[in-house]
Amino acid sequence: METKIFIALLALATLMSCNSNNKDSKETDEHVGEENTEGVVMLNELQREALDLELGDFQMRNLTTLVKTNGQLEVPPAACADVTAIIGGNVKEIKVFHGDKVTKGQALVMLEHPDYIVLQEEFAETANKLEFLEQEYARQKELFENNVGAGKDFQQVKSEFNTAKARYEGLKSRLQLLNLSPDNVKDGNISNTISILSPINGFVNEVNIKLGTYVDAKDRLLSITDNREIHADFMVYENDVHLLEEGQKVDFSVSNRPGEELSATVFAIGKEFEANTRAVHIHASLDKNPGNLIPGMYVSGHIHTDENRTRTLPNDAVVTEGTKSYIFVVDDSIEEETHEGNGHEHEAENEEEHDHESEEKQNEHAGETGHEAEEGGHVMAFRRVEVITGMQESGYTEIKLLNSLPDNTQIVLNAAYYLLADMNKEETEHKH
């Protein structure tokens, strides 16, 4: 009898031990699963779109020694022109409009005036007279050299010939300034109008005339600017002038391109201070002209006075909790580990006994979960990574990694605060 009781107690103890081992094993698996997802937030496609989540990589920027500056866009003197009339006249035709693109040599304005006709007549008359005097000069020279003609006659013809030749060349130059062909005038083709041509390539900035207006030689008819030669003209105060050198890089922004940063290279530094501001002009050529830049636009930026570049992220990519700072990176392994953990759970469940009603409920729940996942789109895991932050400048923060990340790691560039809040909320709910 005692032997039977001992055997029964031994069997009961063995059964309890097995159940305890199974329970401990299950709890261990659950604990491991919790550790794998600690510091991770899961977002589906709809949630990512709602946060307007941006992914990218670190940016190498210079945040060490910077000189803040502002100014405006300008063009060099050789890239802008005021168009005037060489000789006064009345506006007969205006061929361009404000903002039009023009090329060098293109006709801009047509002027007319009786003086243009008089000038051409004088040139034609002088040209004919010069032809006669040239022949007479050659004849008198030959006679003089052969001691046949008088020296006085030769000198007089020579003087008249040189005078007519000088007048001819002068009138010819004046016609060319008016864009009239001397050859056409000599052939008797007289024009009562002249064309004012564009001296450079560029865009028409000002039109100061109208039809019928009389314009003088000193009047400005139009203004043209070649925006391709645009550069940034910055002002730097005397405290920072000693830090400047030609060839330094400048990062700046303009009002008509929000969110975009342009770069330029310093090519000239002013040698005198502005009387009122005690600042020096710094001229920088654009490394790349994106277009749509207009002289006079306000610009602001900073000049890099050294080349010590560091790893940075936008300020919105960094979040602080207590004394620690974090960024979030995409973790593709979380989903795989989750699937593996689910597989072990299913194996454990298959070893246990379930009734038919429980299986149906689980199937219904799985169907609902699958439908919700399908509606939300692909789920991505974002893992929190602790970092050390450094300097901040122009919306960027210096980042120092405690542990290296793979080269192809995708980093969340914004909404880090919301990801941390969502992660803390999930962890709090899980503990409850």
Which pLDDT belongs to residue 326?
93
Confidence of residue 335 (pLDDT cuts 50, 70, 90): low
Share of the chain above pLDDT 70, in %: 77
Q: How far apart are CA 126 and CA 165, in angstroms?
A: 8
Write down the number of H helices and E strands in the chain: 8, 23
- DSSP code at position 110: E
Judged by average pLDDT, the poorest of 6-10, 300-304, 322-326, 375-379 is 6-10
Mean pLDDT of 207-232: 91
Cβ neighbours around 152 below 10 Å, total = 9
Which pLDDT belongs to residue 120?
92
Does 394 score more than 90 pLDDT?
no
Does 30 score more than 80 pLDDT?
no
- Each residue's pLDDT tens digit, 280-318: 999 999 998 887 888 889 999 888 877 667 889 999 999
Main-chain phi, psi angles of 148, to 5 degrees: -100, -45
Confidence of residue 9 (pLDDT cuts 50, 70, 90): very low
The answer to whether residues 83 and 220 touch, using CB atoms and an 8 Å cutoff, is yes
Judged by average pLDDT, the poorest of 29-33, 64-68, 333-337 is 29-33
Cβ neighbours around 83 below 10 Å, total = 24
Judged by average pLDDT, the poorest of 146-160, 175-189, 300-314 is 146-160
Which pLDDT belongs to residue 63?
66
Q: Name the pTM for this structure.
A: 0.54
Both tokens of residue 221?
């008819």
Higher pLDDT, residue 366 or 391: 391
Which pLDDT belongs to residue 10?
43
Higher pLDDT, residue 369 or 252: 252
Which pLDDT belongs to residue 25?
43
Mean of per-residue pLDDT scores for the chain: 79
Closest CA to 200 of 300, 84, 81: 81
Does 349 score more than 80 pLDDT?
no
Main-chain phi, psi angles of 392, to 5 degrees: -125, 140
Which pLDDT belongs to residue 214?
94
